[in-house]
A and B are shown apart, each in its own frame.
Chain A
Amino acid sequence: MASIINSLSFKNFFNYYGDYDQTEYEFKEGVNIIVADNGAGKSKFFNAFLWLFYDDVLDSDDKKRKAVKDFAVKIISDKAKNETEIGENVETGIKIEYSTGRYKFQIVKSFTATRIGEKISDNESWQVVMNDIEIDKTDHILPKYKPVYDADEKHRIINQLILPTLRQYSFFQGEEVDKMIDFTKKSSIEDAVRTLTNISKYEDIAKIVEDIEAKAYKDLNKQTKQKESHNERLEDALKKREELKNSINQENEKLEIQKELYTKAQEEYELLDAKYANASKRKELDEKISIKNKTLKSASDEYQRFLEGINNRFFDGNFSWITLGFENVVEDFKNKISTFRAARYEKRTLLQVAESPNDYFTILPSNSPDAVTLQQMIDKEHCYVCGTDAPKGSEPYNHLLKLKNRPNESSSKKQFVKNDLEDFFSRLQLNASPFLNKFDSIPQSVLRTKERELELKKRLDKLSSEVKALKSQRKDLLVTSNQDEDSDPRNIINQYKGSSNRMAQASTKIERLENTLKELKAQLLATEKEITSLRPKDIPEGYSANYEIAQDLVEATNKAKERVFDKMVSLLENHANEHFQNLIKYNDIKGGVLNFDKSPSGGISLDYIDEAGNEVSGASEGFQRMKKFAVVMAIISANTSNYNYPLLADAPLSAFGKAFNKGFFEAIPNVFPQSIILVKDLYDKDSESKLTDLGAKLVKDENIQTFYLNEVDGELAQIERTTKIERRK
């Protein structure tokens, strides 16, 4: 029957302050979720199991495991330490209750610390005594706990919760999933197969039969040499056999070296696989960002220039905003200048008349009519001004002549005012003309300016949100791949290609060596046949038969071993695919299967093959982790019997994405009878329920049996801090 953890409680264990009954989680068969933000007891929860299984805890400062007895002072809740007076003592411990089909066990591991010094965080201030492990056992039929005293039985009870060999598949934190199934190590799947099958027995048998074969061969040769009838030809053949065996050994050594090279290159390749896709995407993004940034920069400059130029439109004759509301100036000035001109003209005329009353006099503006028109009037003997005839010799004709011969006014202009300002005023009017005809168009022009600004602003906003989107894509890539901001994507790309080349080279050499070996082995076989026929016929039959049977046994055992192995691999492959499909059920990944393939180095590589049969490489890290998790589940479910142990996992959901989370929670009950999942990604401190949307959905999900939310009041000083466990389901 499966082991099911019924409850876990703490006493003054890190931030889990208080007695066991104050900090208790109850769990049920099926999926149990604990949501906790960073620092809210997730790793402490794991520490409880590290203590239970290994008497260790993880030091969150250096991520190294430390023995509980050496680390005790740090394990005690600071609040509890602070409340313990000198001379008094405090107990710290963990309590786990689990049941199998028939029995229920309660395990308590604890220590007692006596305060002997002032400074509570100093090791010297405390005397620590580790308490005996207390285990109580009860039968479901007779619910009365009875203590277990026998040390071996205690040990067995602890191990039975999760068997040591299976803990690696059942008890892990975040990134450990990656290390757990490390496909770069050729042994990882083999190890899994070994854990799950009786293949080691076949290996033992193979070793025994190989020994038998060697002995049979030796005996046979001994017999052969004792017979005088053995001849030189046999001697030669035996020598040849030795030579061939030596060559085979040598080639095998070379092969091993190449396989090692291959494995190394493959390790590097696999390691860089996720990073490579990431790096090439990053490089692509970098280029896009750089181009976009340039466009953005010029758009931003243009916008800035536009804004700076807005008020310039007051003073620019093309816009003339400054004239807005000064329409009447034009009329006003026009009236004033004509009054001015009339007055000064009158003044001048009067002056002229007074000076030379008999001189030419006209009230026409000066220099009009012009000389050309005057000549025409003289020629035609007609005055265009008054429309009457002016026959030659008449008074009007003489007047025309007089006009034509009038003195050039500008040259002989007499100073009739002290300051001649006519030109000053005329020039003002003339020059200002660009500012005098825009009045009506100004409101429109202001409107157009605003529209243009809006246009520029829109373009700028669009560009800057595009850049932002690209940058956040790039940031996401960095986050999912744990890469430094500074790491140059080009280096990764080069390394990746380098390792791929080395793999190809080693692979070619391995193939060549294998061909050589094949040939050598064929020669060896032929030589052995030759030896058989050269052997004296009078050797006792038993010796030859022994040797032949031994040879057959070796071959049969090796084949059986291979078959068992291959069968298990293909079983794993089937199971892994089944789980993988469940895990990605809600992802929009099209088709595709996981493919277990023997690599040239003899390891097993795991590839993701798309519908067209092409290998999909370098998917996101979340995707890589999904693949691995599918294999972990396969290792467990491929076991012929049911898996009887709970899953304790700190799920790094952030790397997976929402769709995977949903698949994950649906898929785990298929394999693990009980799972306790700690997640921080469902925590949302800003939400009223403190849960994300997915978190809120999961509370209602019928697959989820219990649901806890841990909270720590970060506002409080460390010595006041406690973890509050709130049960939501």
Chain B
Amino acid sequence: MNSQEFRSNLLLKRPRYAKSRIPVLDAFSEKGSKTVDYSRFGPYYEIYIYAMMLGIKNKKRLPLPPRDLTKDFIEIGKWKRDSSLVDFLLMVIFTKTDELAIDWNELEDLEESELSNVISKVVSLIEEYSNGGLEYLEELWEKGELDSSHYMFIDLYKDVKKN
């Protein structure tokens, strides 16, 4: 597997989320149709990325439930097309070598199947952080601790102590 193949294999992955998160996803993205007094995210991947980064900031990883209780959505490669956003996100993820239990150099010597496994681990890490972030959001939401404002998400993001 060369760089090109590795990248495309990774970008073709469709991360999953727990079905139980659908209400919170809908509440915070434009897919939900209710009118609200705070600015929402656009497509699902936005809230998903936001939750993931929030999860990372909070060091909150939460494994997904069994597969049939989850749903996938668009491939990572289609998140914010023509943007280097995904590159930045992967930078963040790939620096987490301890959590992924990988060594970049060792990756280069893995068998194809083992490398595919690594890709799965990367996707899992994304999913778990996102799930953790979503749970955090959901808790705040249910406790009524999210102040409905147009700056709710950036304010919340700022307030989390630096990673």
Interface residues of A (CB under 8 A from B): 307-308, 310-317, 320-329, 332-333, 336-337, 339-340, 343-344, 347, 417-425, 427-429, 431-436, 443, 446, 449-450, 453
Q: Which of B1-16 contact A (CB under 8 A)?
A: 1-4, 6-7
Most buried by B among A329, A421, A443, A449: A421
- Is B108 on the interface with A (CB-CB < 8 A)? yes
The interface on chain B, measured as residues whose beta carbon lies within 8 A of the other chain's beta carbons, has a size of 46
B3 lies within 8 A of A422 (CB): yes
Nearest residue in B to A424 (C-beta to C-beta)?
B3
- Is B83 on the interface with A (CB-CB < 8 A)? yes
Q: Which of B55-86 contact A (CB under 8 A)?
A: 57, 80, 83-85
- Find A419's partner among B50, B53, B115 (CB 8 Å cutoff): B115
Report Cα–Cα, A308/B35, bound state, in Å. 12
Q: Enumerate chain B residues within 8 angstroms of A421, measured Cβ to Cβ.
A: 2-3, 6, 104, 107-108
Interface residues of B (CB under 8 A from A): 1-4, 6-7, 30, 39-42, 46, 49-50, 53, 57, 80, 83-85, 87-88, 90-92, 94-95, 97, 104-105, 107-112, 115, 150-151, 153-154, 157-158, 160, 162-163
Report Cα–Cα, A308/B153, bound state, in Å. 13
Most buried by A among B57, B91, B95, B151: B91
B49 lies within 8 A of A322 (CB): yes
User: In the complex where A328-B163, A419-B110 touch, is A322 in contact with B1 (Cβ < 8 A)?
Assistant: no
A325 lies within 8 A of B157 (CB): yes
Nearest residue in B to A314 (C-beta to C-beta)?
B50
Report Cα–Cα, A201/B61, bound state, in Å. 111
Nearest residue in A to B158 (C-beta to C-beta)?
A324
Q: Enumerate chain A residues within 8 angstroms of B7, measured Cβ to Cβ.
A: 424, 427
Report Cα–Cα, A689/B87, bound state, in Å. 72
**Other CB < 8 Å A-B pairs besides A333-B95, A446-B158, 16 of them?**
A310-B150, A311-B46, A314-B46, A314-B154, A316-B83, A317-B83, A320-B88, A322-B85, A326-B163, A333-B91, A340-B104, A344-B108, A347-B105, A418-B109, A428-B87, A449-B151
B111 lies within 8 A of A418 (CB): yes
Report Cα–Cα, A310/B151, bound state, in Å. 8
A420 lies within 8 A of B2 (CB): yes
Nearest residue in A to B84 (C-beta to C-beta)?
A431
B94 lies within 8 A of A315 (CB): no
- Find B108's partner among A324, A417, A432, A450 (CB 8 Å cutoff): A417
A325 lies within 8 A of B154 (CB): no
A307 lies within 8 A of B2 (CB): no
- Find A315's partner among B2, B80, B92, B160 (CB 8 Å cutoff): B80
Report Cα–Cα, A422/B95, bound state, in Å. 15
B84 lies within 8 A of A432 (CB): yes
Instruction: Give, as a whole number of angstroms, the nearest-CB distance from A581 to chain B.
Output: 56
For the complex of A and B, the 9 pairs showing the least CB-CB separation, nearest first, are: A423-B3, A431-B87, A424-B3, A417-B108, A435-B88, A432-B87, A432-B88, A431-B84, A340-B104
User: In the complex where A336-B97, A421-B3 touch, is A435 in contact with B85 (Cβ < 8 A)?
Assistant: yes
Instruction: Give, as a whole number of angstroms, the nearest-CB distance from A429 to chain B.
Output: 7
Instruction: Give, as a whole number of angstroms, the nearest-CB distance from A303 to chain B.
Output: 10
Instruction: Give, as a whole number of angstroms, the nearest-CB distance from A587 to chain B.
Output: 46
Instruction: Give, as a whole number of angstroms, the nearest-CB distance from B70 to chain A.
Output: 24
Nearest residue in A to B90 (C-beta to C-beta)?
A428
- Find A307's partner among B84, B111, B150 (CB 8 Å cutoff): B150
Instruction: Give, as a whole number of angstroms, the nearest-CB distance from B93 to chain A.
Output: 10
A436 lies within 8 A of B88 (CB): yes
Could you show 7 A-B contacts with beta carbons less than 8 Å apart?
A316-B83, A325-B163, A421-B2, A421-B104, A432-B88, A435-B85, A453-B150
Instruction: Give, as a whole number of angstroms, the nearest-CB distance from B18 to chain A.
Output: 22
Instruction: Give, as a whole number of angstroms, the nearest-CB distance from B10 to chain A.
Output: 9
DSSP majority for the B interface?
Answer: helix
Instruction: Give, as a whole number of angstroms, the nearest-CB distance from A36 to chain B.
Output: 44
B97 lies within 8 A of A323 (CB): no
Q: Enumerate chain A residues within 8 angstroms of B39, measured Cβ to Cβ.
A: 307-308, 310-311
- Find B92's partner among A326, A347, A420 (CB 8 Å cutoff): A326
Nearest residue in B to A445 (C-beta to C-beta)?
B154
Report Cα–Cα, A327/B95, bound state, in Å. 13
Report Cα–Cα, A431/B84, bound state, in Å. 6
A311 lies within 8 A of B42 (CB): yes
Q: Enumerate chain A residues within 8 angstroms of B160, measured Cβ to Cβ.
A: 325
Report Cα–Cα, A323/B154, bound state, in Å. 11
Report Cα–Cα, A422/B46, bound state, in Å. 29
A450 lies within 8 A of B91 (CB): no
Instruction: Give, as a whole number of angstroms, the nearest-CB distance from B67 to chain A.
Output: 28
Q: Enumerate chain B residues within 8 angstroms of A344, measured Cβ to Cβ.
A: 105, 108
Q: Enumerate chain B residues within 8 angstroms of A323, measured Cβ to Cβ.
A: 88
Instruction: Give, as a whole number of angstroms, the nearest-CB distance from B130 to chain A.
Output: 13
Q: Enumerate chain A residues within 8 angstroms of B83, measured Cβ to Cβ.
A: 315-317
B91 lies within 8 A of A315 (CB): no
Q: Enumerate chain A residues within 8 angstroms of B6, measured Cβ to Cβ.
A: 419, 421, 424
B154 lies within 8 A of A418 (CB): no
Report Cα–Cα, A551/B16, bound state, in Å. 118
Most buried by B among A336, A449, A453: A336
Q: Enumerate chain A residues within 8 angstroms of B95, measured Cβ to Cβ.
A: 329, 332-333, 336
Q: Enumerate chain B residues within 8 angstroms of A435, measured Cβ to Cβ.
A: 84-85, 87-88
Report Cα–Cα, A317/B82, bound state, in Å. 11
B110 lies within 8 A of A418 (CB): yes
A343 lies within 8 A of B42 (CB): no
Report Cα–Cα, A311/B84, bound state, in Å. 17
Q: Enumerate chain A residues within 8 angstroms of B104, measured Cβ to Cβ.
A: 336-337, 339-340, 421, 425
Q: Enumerate chain A residues within 8 angstroms of B41, measured Cβ to Cβ.
A: 311
Report Cα–Cα, A419/B117, bound state, in Å. 14
B109 lies within 8 A of A315 (CB): no
B94 lies within 8 A of A425 (CB): yes
Nearest residue in A to B83 (C-beta to C-beta)?
A317
Q: Enumerate chain B residues within 8 angstroms of A443, measured Cβ to Cβ.
A: 158
User: In the complex where A418-B108, A421-B107 touch, is A311 in contact with B2 (Cβ < 8 A)?
Assistant: no
Q: Enumerate chain B residues within 8 angstroms of A336, measured Cβ to Cβ.
A: 94-95, 97, 104
Report Cα–Cα, A315/B47, bound state, in Å. 11
B85 lies within 8 A of A317 (CB): yes
Report Cα–Cα, A508/B56, bound state, in Å. 93
Q: Enumerate chain B residues within 8 angstroms of A315, measured Cβ to Cβ.
A: 46, 49, 80, 83, 85
Nearest residue in B to A425 (C-beta to C-beta)?
B104
B151 lies within 8 A of A446 (CB): yes
Instruction: Give, as a whole number of angstroms, the nearest-CB distance from B47 to chain A.
Output: 9
Report Cα–Cα, A216/B15, bound state, in Å. 124
Report Cα–Cα, A671/B1, bound state, in Å. 109
Instruction: Give, as a whole number of angstroms, the nearest-CB distance from A261 to chain B.
Output: 61
Instruction: Give, as a whole number of angstroms, the nearest-CB distance from A425 to chain B.
Output: 7
Report Cα–Cα, A307/B148, bound state, in Å. 13
Q: Enumerate chain A residues within 8 angstroms of B109, measured Cβ to Cβ.
A: 417-419
Nearest residue in A to B2 (C-beta to C-beta)?
A420
Instruction: Give, as a whole number of angstroms, the nearest-CB distance from B34 to chain A.
Output: 15
User: In the complex where A310-B39, A325-B157, A333-B91 touch, is A419 in contact with B85 (Cβ < 8 A)?
Assistant: no
- Find B88's partner among A311, A313, A322 (CB 8 Å cutoff): A322
